[in-house]
A and B are shown apart, each in its own frame.
Chain A
Amino acid sequence: MKLYWLTALPLAGSAVAFLLPRRLRLYMAALGLVTALACARLALLMPLDNSTLFLGQQWMLDRAGQSLLTLIYIATAMMIVVAVVAEQADWFSPPVLASCGLLSAAVALRSALLSFMLLPAALLVLPLSTLPSSPGAVRGATRFLIWVALPILCVPVAITMLQRGALTPDQPGLTELSAWLVLPPVIMWWTLFPFDGTTRLWSRDQLSVTSAFLWTAKDGVIVYLLLALWRQYPLSYTRDVAGVLNIAGLGTAVVSGSLAFAQSNPSAVLACAAMSELGIAVQGISVGSTDGVLGGLFLLLSRSAAVLLASSALAAARSALARDAESNASPYRWRSVIVLVGLAVGVLSMAGLPPLGGFSARQQIYAALQPENRYLLLAWLSATAGIVLGLVRTGWSLWHAEPTPSSEPLYDLPVLLVLCLLLLCLWIGLRSEATARLLSELFRDLLPLS
């Protein structure tokens, strides 16, 4: 099986799903689900470190790339299920499959230049999943389009300069300039501070499964590409560049976390928490040491699980509230309780409360950062306080919300999904050492930087 199938299969699946009429949204979702799971299996079956030529380019999958793609496809399959529950499957599945295909190509291509050019292409298809019913989503998608498309110029210039700088080591200025030029695209694609309001706006009115995809798949691929670039061109990792990335991460963590308090919708609180957590993960990665990078990767993994859990809880909330209201026989609203606990555990994990995954990862990153930042803990605590207060405020209103019946009866399947993800989240938090060991084993190709 050739490596390019990881790109061709999701793109073909996306094209077929685009052509299906919107009323067949369950078929569309089934096609997306089967394609995502097939691609996850395919990624696991691919031979490692085996170079192949296609379109005149070298394609190769290392262990870190294989793990990343497998995780992305499994997360995508789960998100398609969440999209079905949230009645967004017809908008979500086709663009996300296309994006997955292009992200796979970005990971598998051995040319840094083409990988960094494919990344914006993979992100540019995502606004196609914008729901027309949400004005906030429309504005968020428009902003996202701008932040993704604008930095494209920096990429060919920066990477070509890096390649030239590697050939002529007597010109250190060239490499330093190119290291700075890589920074704006990375910050804008991650939507770090001051662009961190993008996904918050996208999720302001209602849950956006596309935003969940961005927080899980997109952020992971950017980390992979950045670490691969730093390993390929070690001179592009400078103290000043890492410092700017650290400040952008801290700004994102504090601003997004604190603003969670002002949100009136649980999906917006989820967005704030996810962005705040990304900021801290970026701080860990910017340190460049093995501990920092591993802490950042652990935080991203625990955040992905928490985002999936909170998204599935939000998607299931409507049907759970409606079914609890229908069944008058039982005085206990157990479905609503499970959904609210799922939402709370997901968001609190991102807020960094013990014993959840976010706390263990923060400890690791804090240990890596401590000598440099005296007031870091206070900054992180302000973000945590904002997220917790935002969760309490919006969770209370969700508990007392009027039930609205879903157009498609899904019985208790959404609650079951929430329960499964809740167990996964708790497992990551309680078995943090085992998870960290597994991550260091899977991503050792990318470590250490310094």
Chain B
Amino acid sequence: MLPTLLRELFQQLEFYSSHRAPQLLIGLAICGFLLILLPDDRLAILAFLAQRLVALALLWSAIQVPLGTTSIIASTAVAVIYAVTELRLFLAARRKALPDGRGAGRISLPFGALAAALGLLVTYGALQTWVGDLLPMVVAFPAILLTVNGFLVLLLASNAGRTGLGILTLVDACRVLYALWQPNLLVWGLWSACDVLVAVSASHVHSAQVASLRAETGEGAT
């Protein structure tokens, strides 16, 4: 059952990678826009995972099955880690009737929209001025967009979880370039393991941050 499903998934990814590149590029831009725009962490995580999936589909014809499978496994692990952390924080906040610590440092929706629009503008400018001549569009656009979005997410991050998303977005940008450059399976695998470690550490630091905020606000209130 599972091998059949995976085979079909790989065929679909191959098809999308070779025949639907323009649509995937638009999808990548939308996901990046949402990642910066959405103030809610849980929705931002969903936008990030969608962005990763689109980037993986775009790269599929360059990286093929072994590297792609490694990336799928690492992305699933990242998704599970972030989901479990958010669930734990949510349940702890509900059980103890404490503030969830989400409001601190969060950016407003109009500011997020402006920042995301700036990201698209910078990407377009960079493509038009120099990078467009050096690399094919299908590589240059995702690499620049992910780099710009990664830096924006890092700059606007209100907590360590968001910082982790920014780091992973930047790492994805690097991976787009490395995929073109005879990638080594062991290096790719170690890199994917580093992704998982970034997610684990960012989630832990985020939990510690929320615990510290609760100690300040929740206990102070009671």
Contacts and interface: CB of A to CB of B under 8 A. Distances in A.
Contact of A113 (B184, B193, B205): B184
A427 B187 CA distance: 44
Given A145-B163, A145-B167, A153-B174, A117 B190 contact: yes
A194 to B, nearest CB: 16
B198 interface: yes
Nearest to A127: B201
B160 interface: yes
B108 to A, nearest CB: 22
Nearest to B175: A153
Interface string B181-211: 1101011001101100110111011011101
Contacts of A141: 160, 201, 205, 208
30 contacts: A113-B187, A117-B194, A121-B193, A121-B197, A124-B194, A127-B204, A128-B200, A128-B204, A131-B208, A132-B207, A132-B212, A134-B212, A135-B212, A138-B160, A138-B209, A141-B160, A141-B205, A142-B160, A142-B205, A145-B198, A149-B167, A149-B194, A150-B167, A152-B174, A152-B191, A153-B175, A153-B178, A156-B187, A157-B178, A160-B184
A142 to B, nearest CB: 5
Contacts of B187: 113-114, 117, 156
Interface residues of A, number: 31
A223 to B, nearest CB: 22
Interface of B: 154, 160, 163-164, 166-167, 170-171, 174-175, 177-178, 181-182, 184, 186-187, 190-191, 193-194, 197-198, 200-202, 204-205, 207-209, 211-212, 215
Interface of A: 57, 113-114, 117-118, 120-121, 124-128, 130-135, 137-138, 141-142, 145-146, 149-150, 152-153, 156-157, 160
A117 B198 CA distance: 14
Label chain B's interface by main secondary structure.
Answer: helix
A93 to B, nearest CB: 15
Contact of A145 (B170, B184, B201, B211): B201
Contacts of A138: 160, 205, 208-209, 212
B186 A114 contact: yes
Contacts of B204: 127-128, 130
Nearest to A153: B174
A141 B208 CA distance: 10
Nearest to A129: B204
